[in-house]
Amino acid sequence: MSKLFLASEFGYSGNLLREKLKVFPKNPKVAYIANASDLDDDQSWITHNREKFIDLGFEIIDVDLRVTQHDNLKEKLEQMDTVYVEGGNTFYLLDISNKSGFTKIIQDLVNKKNKLYIGTSAGSIVAGPNTESTKYLDDLSVVPNFKNFTGFGLVNFVVIPHIGNDDFYRQFEDNYFEMFKNLKMYDYPHICLRDNQAIWAEDNKIEIVQD
């Protein structure tokens, strides 16, 4: 039984997870993977998202895919109640996930061991079957010779985050238009999320929830 909470911005939608947390022990442990933001100077949104986890009663365990070896990574994640993947650059995140072995580990944990996966923005995008449509919004050049757009495949759709976010629209207005114009090229669905929305996916059923 796979379970995922895919957000556009966890700091704004994390309260929607409260109802689901009844199945967790007191002070559940979350593996906090923030590598998607390794290249960003401004990481203010991370503080916002971390504060939401603390507010929800989580104990945060930071996990850095750059330094954690495969066997240690698998063992560490197995001990967590949930795994959270932060936002940032989708392609950098996917590249480091593949190189560290995290991709295969999280597929096993979610699909076979019922580990809850929580994603925000890029962390939600990579959970889908493919990330190619994100090339309109993210900088591909941060990963030289990047060619493999295949996502984790934990769900059969791709999240488009930050719909209605004025800051993102100002930065990527033309890119959003180009992306939406070309979505028909892809043979998998895309789901748009505002920052106060998230998707609860359990097995083959999905629910869009809103704060």
Segment 20-48, tens digit of pLDDT: 888 778 889 999 999 999 988 777 879 99
189 close to 157: Cβ distance less than 8 angstroms: yes
E strands present in the chain: 3-7, 29-33, 59-62, 82-85, 116-120, 158-160, 190-192, 197-202, 205-210
Secondary structure of residue 3 in the 3-state scheme: strand
Least confident of 121-125, 134-138, 205-209: 134-138
pLDDT higher than 90, residue 211 = no
pTM: 0.94
- The tally of domains found in the chain comes to 1
How much is the mean pLDDT over the chain? 91
CATH number at residue 96: 3.40.50.880
Which domain, by its residues, includes 182? 3-17+26-210
pLDDT higher than 80, residue 164 = no
193 close to 10: Cβ distance less than 8 angstroms: no
Mean of pLDDT values over 65-84 = 93
Residues 6+ apart with CB under 8 A from 46: 34, 37, 86
Residues 6+ apart with CB under 8 A from 50: 32, 60
